């Protein structure tokens, strides 16, 4: 990423370094294991009037689905979906407090799930603190940093999306490979059993014929 930042002055480099820390200060990302018949909840404190977004996706397990519910500090349900593979929910907090969102795999009796979620609250702070209450236009360097910051956000979101898709597709490919392998082994065993049965059956025909000829003689 350093090739996108100006190299002519150390101050400019510091400005670009701030870009990398802004996004993580307002978001929480986590990938966790959700066993069958289990439920896991997470808590985030949000101020009144702050806009937040919850994105989630099931990466592995069963039919790649999970139940999700999000409630405000008064236990009022803001969002609830059942057996969703992925979804996104955006809301502006009406009251300040701890918001709870839970993922449930209680409907599954044997499927172990892996779930990813990204919780983002609030807007990104200005890259340069002086830009907060400025009235004048941005300088060329500041405009370049803002452009780079937006581009890095887009790249980060795209990389996360493709990593999740790659992990999900890889798991599915491994499951299909295992099923094909088991099916091939089963067909091989059945083929040997049928072949041996046919040989034994044919030998029994000849044995019965020899025995009947011996008795008639």
DSSP conformation class of 133: T
pLDDT tens for the chain, 217 residues: list them: 333 333 433 333 333 333 333 333 457 888 899 998 999 999 999 999 999 999 999 988 888 889 999 999 999 999 999 999 888 999 999 999 999 999 999 998 888 889 999 998 877 666 655 555 555 666 777 777 777 877 887 787 777 777 777 877 777 788 788 889 999 999 999 999 988 988 888 887 777 655 565 555 5
- In the chain the domains, ranked by start, together with CATH numbers, are 2-170 (2.60.120.380)
Dist. CA 50–CA 126, nearest whole Å:
16
Q: What is the 3-state secondary structure (H, E, C) of 27-52?
A: EEEEEEEECCCCEEEEEEEECCCCEE
- Which residue(s) pair with 115 in the sheet? 32, 58
The answer to pTM > 0.85 is no
55 Cβ partners below 8 Å, 6+ apart?
Answer: 86, 87, 88, 117, 118, 119, 120
């Amino acid at each position: 990423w350093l090739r996108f930042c100006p190299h002519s002055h150390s101050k400019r480099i510091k400005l670009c370094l701030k870009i990398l820390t802004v996004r993580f200060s307002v978001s929480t990302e986590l990938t966790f294991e959700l066993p069958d018949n289990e439920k896991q909840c997470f808590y985030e404190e949000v101020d009144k009037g702050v806009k937040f977004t919850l994105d989630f996706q099931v990466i592995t397990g069963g039919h790649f689905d999970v139940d999700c519910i999000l409630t405000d500090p008064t236990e009022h349900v803001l969002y609830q979906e059942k057996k969703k593979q992925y979804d996104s929910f955006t809301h502006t907090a009406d009251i300040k407090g701890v918001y709870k969102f839970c993922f449930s795999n209680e409907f599954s009796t044997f499927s172990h799930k892996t779930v990813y979620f990204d919780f983002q609250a609030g807007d990104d702070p200005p890259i340069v603190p002086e830009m907060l209450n400025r009235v004048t236009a941005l300088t060329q360097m500041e405009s370049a940093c803002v452009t780079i910051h937006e581009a890095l956000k887009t790249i980060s979101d795209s990389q996360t999306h493709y990593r999740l898709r790659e992990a999900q597709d890889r798991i599915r490919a491994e499951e299909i490979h295992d099923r094909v392998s088991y099916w091939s082994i089963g067909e091989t065993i059945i083929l040997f059993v049928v072949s041996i049965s046919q040989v034994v059956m044919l030998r029994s025909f000849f044995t019965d014929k020899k025995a009947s000829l011996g008795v008639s003689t």
